[in-house]
Structure formats: structure tokens, C-alpha cells
Amino acid sequence: MIYEEKGGRLHFDGCDTVSLAKKYGTPLYVYSLTDIQNRIAELRDDFLDKYDNTRVAYAAKAFSTSAMLKLIDKEGLSVDVVSGGELYTAISVGFPAERIEFNGNNKLYEELLLAIEYGVGRIIVDGIEELQIIEGICEVTGKKTNIMYRVTPGVKSETHEYITTGKKDSKFGIPLDEEVFYPAVEDAIRSPWVNFIGLHFHVGSQLFDNGSHLGALDVLLHHVDEIRNRFSFEIREINLGGGFGIRYTDEPRRPLSYFTDPLMDRIKGHYKELGLDRPTVVIEPGRSIVGEAGITLYTVGNIKDIEGVRKYVSVDGGMTDNIRPALYQARYTGVIANKMDLGKDDKVTICGKCCESGDILIKDINVPSPESGDVICVFSTGAYGHSMASNYNKNPIPAVVFVKEGKDYLVVKRQTYQDMLRNEIVPSWMI
Ligand code: LLP
């Protein structure tokens, strides 16, 4: 169990969270290495070891610090990066180039140059102009690169509109229109500078139904067949994206196999019928690897009890370290980490310290009566919390600590005021 209650205090992967809050200060992101490693073990059991010729590329956007990418490397997974910064982080920890995949709907020239010079395993091309830029860079550097095309399969997914990506009206991917897609495929096949290896889709995030993945797969397989028929060209790799949902409050998290088994069955069946070897199959989970492994610790400050309206409990972080409630109306749950043995007889709203009324982390939650100085723990903040953090109101970005079986390891130091000012300049004429 990664959560335990001992002496009225919440313990996380063997560590007393109240002591962690004291040692490192708050707000504090804490990740259980045991939980991350258990998720990776599930990926192995249910996908990598179960089906040969498969890969998992961790979507670094969910949480991408140096230590996390080193862990992913050590676990032997690939990594999906979407910016020069994520790519640089991977390079800086010596991530093997062939296990890096580069996604993104507007990769900059400098980013593509860095990727091609480092020799990344694949560039997942998101638009037809991108191919020309890549070819130009390959010509200049004399290097050939593997590419895939990300397509928009035109399926809908049941999730927040901001994180649905597979429908046709999307800034992501190449539409599968006859006059757009097939000329692009032909260009890629004929290009002397790229190896065109496959197709990619990502239908959305935080999904609990495998229907959109399966629907997108059918569309993809149809086009794989068309490409074979028209160009006598065999697609060697298909990437099914990520998006597997996790538990924030009471969502019914599904095992990975709920998604991967029917997808693999369909792919295997399709190729068996054709009498062909099936291509490599890749998935790109982010949230489902780190989401539930992370918690955030805060210290309670002001408490404002508005008679007959609401009791606001302010903490020392907020939308700067977790933008998800404000951006997606995401729901979280939490506890008072130092009052685990007391009855939850108070109803409060936990809010942040930013100058925004929408800076609410958890609305109307039952907890023991809170007091200033209490430590609040918010669960399942491991994905898209730290990676979407900001310096709004010039709040420093919190530290990140990894814990495992009672030991704690600082992996990101808390930002200081000086860190925030490092790149600021007051022109001399103002002084
Ligand atoms: N692959 C691609 C191409 C993606 O665009 C994404 C997520 C993933 C993989 C990983 O999806 P995951 O397994 O983490 O669901 N900030 C939002 C989520 C944005 C997801 C964007 N793409 C949130 O906090 O919910």
C-alpha cells in the first residue's frame, strides 16, 4: 500500500508526509517511485511482454523532470517529447536517441534541427509543411531521419473539450482527406531524406471508454491498406497514442489491458486475414504512468468562514502549481495529513493564494476542522501539475521529491525569488 495512516498522520510510500512538508517546505510535489514502477510493471505485463514487437513511449508532457526521464530510460521505455525543452531534458540525461520520439503540431526549425542532429528515433510529422522543413534540415546535415504521420482519424472522445484531439476540427494531425493525405504520403515515400515508417493518432486524454481508440484504429487500418494498394508500400509501425484515464476522486480506473487487448486483437486479426506480418505497435501513455503517483502537500493559512455561505481554507499554493481545476473544472480530493484519525465533521473549500476567484483546488470537501498550520494533501496531482506550473503572481514553482519505501530524494529544488528574476533586465537608462 502506498498510503498508510500511522499515529494520525498520512504516510506515502513509507514516508511521513507531515515530516516531508517540514523538511522541504510547502507547497511540495511528492511522487511515489513504487507507484510509478508498479504502473510500468503493468505496462510490461499487459502489453510489452504480452505482445512482441511493441513499444511504450512515455509522454513526457505529463511530468518531465531530469530524474523522471532518467527513470524512464532505466526502465527501458521510450520517451515522447513535444518541444526543444523536453528534448533537451532527455538529451541532458543521456537518453538514447533511438528511443526518443518527437511529437508536436508546430515544431520549430531549431527544435527539428536539434532532433535530427541528435538522431532521434522518430519525428511524428503533424502537417505537410513540416516534411519540407525536415527534408531541408536532412539535406544540410546529411542525415536521414525516420518519420511517421500523425493523422486526425475524425473520431470524437468523451472527455473535456480542451483535451480531445482526434476529431477533424483540431489543430493536431493531418486530415485524412483524399487530396491532402495521399499526396503527403507519396511525398514521404519518395523522399530521399526520410524513411517513412508509419502512422500515428492520439484521440484524447483521460478516457475511460476504449471506443474512440478502436474507432480510430479502424480508420487507420483502412488507410494502411489503401497505402499498400496504391503505393505497394507497407506501413511498419502504428502508434495509438495515450489517453488512458486515471482516478482523481471516484473514477473507475480501467486496467491497461481494457484498452490494449481489444486493440491488439483487432490489429492481429486484420493482419492475419491479409496473411501479412503485423507492424510494430506503440502506445504513448503519460497520465496513467505518473498521475496517481503524485500528491501535493500544502500548509493551511487563512480560514474564512462566511456564515451560511462557505468556509474558505486558503493554502500556500493553488492554480500556479495545479491549473487543472481552473482550466478544466477538474475535480480532486484530499485530506488533512496531520488529522487522519479525526472525524470529517467540517465542510470546506480549499482555495489557493492567487488573485483569482477561480483559484479553487477542491470545492466542498469534508475534513476534520482545519486550523492554520495544518498540512493538506491533494491526491493524484502527478500528471500535468508540475509540468503546467506557472509563476503567476510571481509565486515560485515548488520543489519535487521522490519517495520510495521510507526514503526521500529531492529531484527539483524549490524556485527562489532570485531564480525568477534571473533573466530580467532593467535597462541602464532607467536606473
Ligand atoms: N500522445 C500525444 C500525441 C498527446 O498529445 C498526449 C497528450 C499523450 C500522448 C499523452 O496523453 P495521456 O496519456 O497523458 O492522457 N493538460 C491536459 C492533458 C493534455 C494532454 C495532451 N496530450 C490535462 O491536464 O488534462
How far away, in angstroms, is 272 Cα from ligand 1 center? 32
Cβ atoms of 21 and 375 closer than 8 Å: yes
End-of-domain residue from the set 264, 285, 306: 285
Q: What is the Cα–Cα distance from 396 to 317, expressed in whole angstroms?
A: 9
Atom of ligand 1 nearest to the CA of 207: 15
How far away, in angstroms, is 323 Cα from ligand 1 center? 15
Q: Mark whether 377 is an active-site residue.
A: no
End-of-domain residue from the set 285, 313, 338: 285
The closest residue, in CA terms, to atom 22 on ligand 1 is: 205
Taking the mean position of all CA atoms in its chain, how far away is CA 396?
Answer: 22
Give pLDDT tens digits along the chain (431 positions): 899 999 999 999 999 999 999 999 999 999 999 999 999 999 999 999 999 999 999 999 999 999 999 999 999 999 999 999 999 999 999 999 999 999 999 999 999 999 999 999 999 999 889 999 999 999 999 999 999 999 999 886 666 665 556 666 778 889 999 999 999 999 999 999 999 999 999 999 999 999 999 999 999 999 999 999 999 999 999 999 999 999 999 998 999 999 999 999 999 999 999 999 999 999 999 999 999 999 999 999 999 999 999 999 999 999 999 999 999 999 999 999 999 999 999 999 999 999 999 999 999 999 999 999 999 999 999 999 999 999 999 999 999 999 999 999 999 999 999 999 999 999 999 99
Ligand 1 pocket, Cβ-based, cut-off 6 angstroms: 59, 61-62, 80, 103, 163, 165, 202, 205-206, 241-244, 284-288, 324, 328, 383-384
CA–CA distance from 369 to each of 27, 52, 131, 330, 337 (Å)? 21, 54, 59, 24, 12
User: SS3 of 136, please?
Assistant: helix
Assigned domain for 194 exists:
yes
Pocket test for ligand 1, best of 61, 288, 380 (most atoms within 8 A of CB): 61
Atom of ligand 1 nearest to the CA of 165: 5
Assigned domain for 300 exists:
yes
Q: What is the Cα–Cα distance from 345 to 324, expressed in whole angstroms?
A: 27
Pair (333, 224) in one structural domain: no
Q: What is the Cα–Cα distance from 32 to 12, expressed in whole angstroms?
A: 7
End-of-domain residue from the set 285, 300, 323: 285
How far away, in angstroms, is 143 Cα from ligand 1 center? 30
How far away, in angstroms, is 60 Cα from ligand 1 center? 9
Residue 191's domain spans which residues? 96-285
Assigned domain for 426 exists:
no
Write b or e for each residue in 309-326: b if 16 or more Cβ atoms lie within 10 A of its Cβ, otherwise e: eebebbbbbbbbbbbbbb
Q: What is the Cα–Cα distance from 309 to 20, expressed in whole angstroms?
A: 34
Atom of ligand 1 nearest to the CA of 288: 13
The closest residue, in CA terms, to atom 8 on ligand 1 is: 242
Pick the catalytic residue from 15, 138, 354, 355: 355
Pair (163, 263) in one structural domain: yes
Pair (163, 196) in one structural domain: yes
Total domains in the chain come to 2
Helix (H) or strand (E) holding 267: helix 256-274
Pair (278, 137) in one structural domain: yes
Pair (128, 9) in one structural domain: no
Assigned domain for 372 exists:
yes
CA–CA distance from 214 to each of 155, 156, 262 (Å)? 10, 11, 8
Pair (225, 358) in one structural domain: no
CATH number of the CATH domain containing 132:
3.20.20.10
Pair (230, 108) in one structural domain: yes
Pair (417, 402) in one structural domain: yes
- Virtual CA dihedral for 289, 402, 6, 1, nearest 10 degrees? 30
Assigned domain for 60 exists:
no
Pair (267, 297) in one structural domain: no
